Structure 1
């Protein structure tokens, strides 16, 4: 009888153990206690306005536990206990949601399809263990399967096929001895990614965010360009053998030049550069200026115009999916990812493509040059680091790779030691984090400078503008030929009559000023402004995320409207400063931009806000449209570059490539040079808006006539 009793008792215990496996004893009471305490901590932090990455992680963890406990409560056989528990859970959830309602980022974490961070999963397991519940290894959350997004058809440009046929037996680069398999270390069994992230969240006070850099390189640069000392330091680090960099300098400190010259120093060719569409043309332009011996090509659409034999291949994120096949097999020995915060979400398609190509490059080349460029390494959370670190090869999906693991091991500490986080942060920084602010290198850079950013106008708008410019040129050519025939009785002229060219340009300018319709120099500039508006707004948002407040200047109301719509769509707060506002409204909007840290952009009319404003709170300006005079442009820049400004000011001038936009920019610059020469007391020779318009027409007609003569 005793034996049977023990058997029944053992069976009963076995059943209970199987039922509670992984949950432990007294789950309900203990878990509710831990859950209530964690929810209280989150609510306190939210009410005090401290929405830190740790708060977001704990918020998501509480939401996950609430969801799990609700599901288990519904399975409870005792109806009264089920009702009581569900009521308690609902009270916690309601209180938490009310405190989080003003933060869209927190509310997004409550979504059923929200990505669960590794930190939230880890914290959930810790909270369950603190409730006395052992979480079995098999209960660890499964790897999330990301549904495949239908990709555009993959292509191989014909010039790439020609290159492959010219060198069909492209061999891997074994110039550096392959690294042996990582040996076990005292940290091998530790979960390290969480502590590494927390080291940047908690151990940053007073700690440097920049690796030690050598003295600036003396490497010569082409033309009359000069490498600034802070730029030369990074190039020198590359020459010394460093090959992975998270270059997080603020905008305006020349990250593009540093990347191009580092590739030259490392002989990292062919080089792949992945960029946002708005800066693709600028990368090709900068490559021609900084490394003129290296051919650069940009991939447009299906790559029909790409140069398969180029040393530098520039591709934008939007078309990466259709080219990933041949890019992975091209034999790149270096890769640069510009605005690298674009890949912060590892589950996105573009992030997976970037990481895949990076792994294939590392499989081909033992020590490739890998550079992530961003002034904003963190957008929402410290977890944004993970994808960038993985691209650079410092970590894989779950743990540090050999070089970083060795560095962490050399500290002689583990995550259980009090000083580990500070030491771990130093180890990661030494892997190649380089961060300089404008104020840190103010002595290196001019107090005020204009940086041109050429953009390609794709699609119907761009084609229409280029067609209108050709039509304007042909109309002036016909007018020139008619005048020449009338004056010389039809006899052919040798060369170009430049006097007549100037007359025709003056006639065209007068007709354009008197006519209210038709394509002329005025309507074309307005169409260019509308076409550039979205790209200019996109770049302003990138700068705002990287360096803080930005002043956005435009001439026309519809350009300002388009920009403001883009800012509103992307959740970027802005102030609007226009000519049709009352003085009270205008001042209120100025005060909001100057005093409210949450207002990132001031959208200003170039004519109405170009004078009488003090906007020293911003050191970055975006000129979405060109002014007609150098003085008007200078006045706009001086809204920020004035007494009280303690940082160098950079004006980013958005230019439509291969259009009259660039020609007018050059004329404005030449007038600015004349104005500077006249500061000794001579008359102002900076010219009027009519001068620039006329000279732009002269240049356009002269270029068309030269093309006709050469044909």
Structure 2
């Protein structure tokens, strides 16, 4: 209350012509006051942020303004609620206007999820943010006491006004090896300046050569060598061809295979073949954990580390560094000094806007690598066909070092010079297209490599729940485990009064798990295995929808399956925000409405996704117009999962089917997935979904509880032993 009274007192002082002094020494120039105070100033600022994000211009200054508006909105809400001198009607009106500002902030953050990190409790408040906070408050007629920690901020924020960090483990690596071995091949590989084509505009004709269509864009690849790799895994022939090209010395690839053809494994093994370590992998947040898992699977001799936030938990000595676009700006500095010899950009269409901050970060790092390493491995991965939005690929070509901002460079320019043609000559378009493809464009479709692929397969996509919902879920899992342990210990003590029991009584574990399943199946007062799985489904709904949206853009029509209505609602809201048209199949629809949605998905090329209830759409419908599907929530049995996949994998399907199963890492979700696989037979599921006798859903629920209890008891025994 005192704070609010002082604020209004300061405002009245300004109206009466007084000039408060700053630091007690000199008068500060009075800013024009907005009659409606802080809320009006915040309303104007939040509209500016909303407009910029809608135009795709989330510059550092906009990010700062978003954060400051959110902070001031919270402060003003607390002040309004505590202000006792304001009438109830006035207070209600002000809170309503603040709710409107909060709604705009929420919808803006949903459009650009990287903004959510600025709202975290541990988010850093930059000097520029402190300065902007002062400016907004003063514009509202509020006197702000000086902040000793505040430093002058530049009048025009630039890309350099970003919070940069250097993780401690990286410092340790730098101290252990303070000098990078010079790579003189960087100088040796410089090509002669163009002579014949000087003055010709070449980027446009290069793009036009792809817009004109033609044959499938794929460079000539060598025959694959050995197809077996570490751990007994085996490459498919089309994967082996790209790895063989890297082994033969090719170093730049635009890998545009359709989803489901194993681009991740190809990139990791190409890096191993090229000895391109340290290797940086830049990915969307939704697939960050999947890259770490795939690295451990395909290249186990090259440790991978994942950068979260400020990178406090990373292994600075790892060979593979995985970082998501949203936090890359914090780490550009030390990554540029690490001596990287390779860089992979996944979902490379994310950098299509060369003026965006994420694109500038990626291009800066690739330029740094090329100047330090003469022959680095650079790979851009995207399933988007080249013929769509071809201008977006200029940023990718620049990342690969094929062009700069104005013209072709390096080997591409040499090839164009040696052709003897100019853009005015007939045949230049064909030659230009071939020259770009030869630099490393690799594009295969499922139908092209159908012999390599199983008819049906399930691919897991681990996602990390690193928000408040994820932390709450992990806390609830721990509470469930503690309850199981407590019951186990009480029963054990009653059975063996006064005796010392060594190890874990596995029979008792199963009995306790059976009690828990029986007692909690119909109760909702405490967390149980059923409520846990529902909460996990809700938490990963947005991530699953984001992944489906990526598939829809790169691979065409996608079937999205979920068990619960709220997960379907979240997915449909996500698609609507992204401008993706969808159909919906739910249990409460009439037969006519249901068929209308099915027809829209199968017949209308603009309807990219169908959102299906696992129970309502799991049987009796044909959706084979798609060959990719997303399983947003886990079933309790493989049979239910297989029935959903069979909506796509059925007579009339001309392509191999891939079901992308979204798994919440480090949660009960992972255990359930493993149990379902073990019950169904992993080999049959991965190859062709062969029918097998499988366990009931109750068995999976029981085994999940058994696993949870045994893990908790194992950790307790380990602590006692240490």
- TM-score normalised per structure 2: 0.76
Deviations 1:658-678 (A, max 9, x none): 11111110111122129969x
Deviations 1:101-123 (A, max 9, x none): xxxxxxxxxxxxxxxxxxxxxxx
Match of 2:170 in 1: 160
Query: Hey, what's the Cα distance between the residues in 2 that align with 1:173 and 1:542?
Result: 38
Structure 1 segment 296-695 matched on structure 2, within 5 A:
296-376=304-384, 381-673=389-681, 685-695=693-703
Q: Which runs of 5+ in 1 are unaligned?
A: 1-145
Query: Hey, what's the Cα distance between the residues in 2 that align with 1:624 and 1:181?
Result: 50
Query: Hey, what's the Cα distance between the residues in 1 that align with 2:568 and 2:183?
Result: 51
Match of 2:286 in 1: 278
Shift of 1:496: 1.0
Cα distance change, pair 150–561 in 1 and its aligned pair in 2 (3 A): farther
Query: Hey, what's the Cα distance between the residues in 1 that align with 2:642 and 2:424?
Result: 57
Match for 1:186 among 160, 178, 196?
A: 196
Match of 2:158 in 1: 148
Cα distance change, pair 437–481 in 1 and its aligned pair in 2 (3 A): same
Match for 1:171 among 168, 173, 181?
A: 181
Query: Hey, what's the Cα distance between the residues in 1 that align with 2:163 and 2:216?
Result: 46
- Whichever of the two has the greater Rg, that structure is 1
Cα distance change, pair 356–157 in 1 and its aligned pair in 2 (3 A): same
Match of 2:272 in 1: 264
Kept in 2, the 8 Å contact 1:454–1:657? The answer is yes
Query: Hey, what's the Cα distance between the residues in 2 that align with 1:423 and 1:675?
Result: 46
Kept in 1, the 8 Å contact 2:229–2:298? The answer is yes
Kept in 1, the 8 Å contact 2:186–2:372? The answer is no
Query: Hey, what's the Cα distance between the residues in 1 that align with 2:679 and 2:542?
Result: 28
- TM-score normalised per structure 1: 0.77
Shift of 1:175: 4.7
Query: Hey, what's the Cα distance between the residues in 1 that align with 2:405 and 2:683?
Result: 57
Query: Hey, what's the Cα distance between the residues in 2 that align with 1:446 and 1:262?
Result: 23
Secondary structure class of the residue paired with 1:371? strand
Which stretch shows the higher mean deviation, 361-370 or 378-387?
Answer: 378-387
Kept in 2, the 8 Å contact 1:238–1:265? The answer is yes
Deviations 1:578-618 (A, max 9, x none): 11111111110011000000001110011111101100001
Q: Which runs of 5+ in 2 are unaligned?
A: 1-155
Number of matched residues? 560
Secondary structure class of the residue paired with 2:169? helix
Deviations 1:509-565 (A, max 9, x none): 012112133211011100100110011000001111111000000000000000100
Cα distance change, pair 490–468 in 1 and its aligned pair in 2 (3 A): farther
Secondary structure class of the residue paired with 1:165? helix
Cα distance change, pair 360–684 in 1 and its aligned pair in 2 (3 A): closer
Shift of 1:224: 2.8
Query: Hey, what's the Cα distance between the residues in 1 that align with 2:683 and 2:340?
Result: 47
Kept in 1, the 8 Å contact 2:584–2:597? The answer is yes
Deviations 1:199-226 (A, max 9, x none): 1112x23x23000000012164012311
Secondary structure class of the residue paired with 1:489? coil
Deviations 1:131-153 (A, max 9, x none): xxxxxxxxxxxxxxx97368541
Structure 1 segment 157-236 matched on structure 2, within 5 A:
157-175=167-185, 178-180=188-190, 182-202=192-212, 204-205=213-214, 207-218=215-226, 220-236=228-244
Shift of 1:687: 1.3
Query: Hey, what's the Cα distance between the residues in 2 that align with 1:683 and 1:412?
Result: 61
Query: Hey, what's the Cα distance between the residues in 2 that align with 1:167 and 1:377?
Result: 42
Query: Hey, what's the Cα distance between the residues in 2 that align with 1:630 and 1:224?
Result: 26
Shift of 1:379: 9.0
Query: Hey, what's the Cα distance between the residues in 2 that align with 1:581 and 1:242?
Result: 55
Kept in 1, the 8 Å contact 2:227–2:234? The answer is no
Deviations 1:53-91 (A, max 9, x none): xxxxxxxxxxxxxxxxxxxxxxxxxxxxxxxxxxxxxxx
Deviations 1:280-326 (A, max 9, x none): 00001000010000010000000000111000000000000111111
Shift of 1:467: 0.7
Query: Hey, what's the Cα distance between the residues in 2 that align with 1:216 and 1:675?
Result: 25
Deviations 1:156-213 (A, max 9, x none): 00000111111111133225662345233211221100111111112x23x2300000
Cα distance change, pair 534–429 in 1 and its aligned pair in 2 (3 A): same
Kept in 2, the 8 Å contact 1:151–1:321? The answer is no
Kept in 2, the 8 Å contact 1:675–1:685? The answer is no
